[in-house]
């Protein structure tokens, strides 16, 4: 099978590409620089391109059996009008261009990224895939991003929307951003720690994606998160425990807002997300519990 991954030179894309190559597939990835930690080979190619602009890269879309759409500027920066436009356009324009290039015979499946930010700040409400979208900038971006991807269904192909929780892995993602303060004994819960934090081990993210690629009936939004969601304070306690460090500090909301601006409010949003579809379809999580996941990555 030939698979194209937009944004495939990044943290998640590289992990997905490695697994696909291990299983014998042919993989093409796109990235702004075209530089990938995976060496070029008979079954692997990296393309330097701006996917927000139509171009020759779309030929790879048309010739692929599956497209995994991961392209999008990082949200982890201090937002202003320009940064917000980059976050939105990198996702919507790329997805629009992917959909344009999909063949009309319906043979190419689209697996398009989104995030649990779709649900907004929802307190203790259990959020399966049929829950409504929430409010806020990230919820609005996710809603528009998903809607653009779902237009691909008009071409007859299968569309799966991957709503990612916080991805735990080394070299990027949510965990990588937290490690330094926790290793220094300066970690602790955010804004009291009552909020729910949906997470997923990178191995389970990749495993769930390949599982869905093999399930022809699977389509629509799918929550990519572990079955045992935890509160932020429990995540903090587990991470500090695995590292063998204290976590005595609680970061107040005003400090988050001072450091991160509007992003600070989004980071402490409570999303009690459950992977109802993955569980009902029979996917087996290798790391369903947080402590096991952290020990695998850090012990």
Q: What is the pLDDT of residues 105-155, one digit of tens each?
A: 999 999 999 999 999 999 999 999 999 999 999 999 999 999 999 999 999
- Residue 264 placed within a domain: no
pTM above 0.85, yes or no: yes
- Residue 257 placed within a domain: no
- Residue 185 placed within a domain: no
44-53 long-range CB contacts below 8 Å, 24 or more apart? 44/17, 46/8, 46/9, 51/6, 51/7, 51/93, 51/94, 51/97, 51/98, 52/89, 52/90, 52/93, 52/94, 52/97, 53/93, 53/97
Mean of pLDDT values over 186-204 = 96
- Residue 29 placed within a domain: yes
Residue 173: what pLDDT? 87
- Check whether 299 has a pLDDT greater than 90: no
Residues with Cβ within 8 Å of residue 167, at least 6 apart in sequence: 11, 12, 173, 174, 175, 199, 200, 202, 205
Range of the domain at 43: 2-167+200-228+273-286
Percent of the chain with pLDDT over 70: 100
Q: How many residues does the chain have?
A: 299
- Check whether 209 has a pLDDT greater than 90: yes
- Residue 141 placed within a domain: yes
CA torsion sign for 291, 209, 275, 123 is positive
* Beta strand segments in 185-267, E: 196-197, 199-201, 220-224, 230-231
List the structure tokens of 213. Answer: 């690629």
Residue 283: what pLDDT? 98
Q: Per-residue pLDDT tens for 252-282?
A: 989 989 888 999 999 999 999 999 999 999 9
Q: Tokens 């697996």 identify what position?
A: 111
Residue 174: what pLDDT? 84
Residue 190: what pLDDT? 94
Residues with Cβ within 8 Å of residue 51, at least 6 apart in sequence: 6, 7, 30, 57, 71, 93, 94, 97, 98
- If one counts the domains in the chain, the total is 1
Phi, psi of 29 (to 5 degrees): -120, 150
Residue 272: what pLDDT? 98
Of 280, 277, 273, 227, the closest CA to residue 133 belongs to 273
- Residue 43 placed within a domain: yes
- C-alpha 66: how far from its chain's center? 18
| CATH number for the domain harbouring residue 93 | 3.40.50.720
Average pLDDT in the chain: 96
Q: Per-residue pLDDT tens for 17-76?
A: 999 999 999 999 999 999 999 999 999 999 999 999 999 999 999 999 999 999 999 998
- Residue 77 placed within a domain: yes
């Amino acid at each position: 099978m030939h698979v194209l991954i937009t944004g495939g030179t990044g943290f998640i894309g590289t992990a997905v590409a490695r697994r696909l190559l291990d299983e014998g597939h042919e993989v093409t990835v796109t990235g702004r620089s075209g530089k990938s930690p995976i060496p070029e080979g008979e079954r692997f190619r990296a393309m330097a391109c701006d996917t927000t602009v139509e171009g020759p890269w779309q030929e790879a879309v048309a010739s692929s059996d599956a497209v995994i759409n991961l392209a999008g500027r990082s949200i982890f920066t201090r937002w202003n009008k320009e940064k917000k436009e980059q976050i939105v356009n990198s996702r919507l324009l790329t997805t629009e261009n992917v959909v344009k290039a999909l063949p009309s015979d319906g043979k190419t499946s689209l697996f398009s990224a989104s995030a649990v930010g779709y649900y907004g700040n929802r307190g203790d409400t259990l959020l399966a895939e049929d829950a409504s979208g929430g409010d806020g900038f990230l919820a609005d971006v996710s809603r528009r991003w998903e809607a653009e991807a779902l237009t691909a269904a008009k071409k007859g192909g299968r569309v799966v929307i991957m709503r990612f929780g916080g991805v735990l892995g080394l070299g990027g993602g949510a965990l990588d951003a937290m490690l330094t303060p926790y290793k220094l004994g300066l970690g602790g819960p955010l804004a009291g720690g009552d909020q729910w934090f949906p997470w997923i081990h990178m191995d389970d993210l990749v495993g769930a994606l390949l599982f869905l690629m093999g399930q022809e009936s699977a389509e629509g939004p799918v929550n990519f998160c572990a079955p045992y969601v935890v509160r932020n304070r429990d995540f903090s306690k587990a991470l500090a425990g695995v590292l063998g460090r204290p976590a005595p500090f609680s970061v107040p909301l005003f400090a988050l807002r001072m450091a991160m601006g509007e992003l600070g409010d989004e980071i402490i949003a409570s999303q009690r997300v459950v992977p109802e579809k993955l569980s009902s379809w029979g996917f087996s999580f290798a790391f369903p519990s947080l402590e096991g996941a952290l020990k695998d990555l850090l012990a």
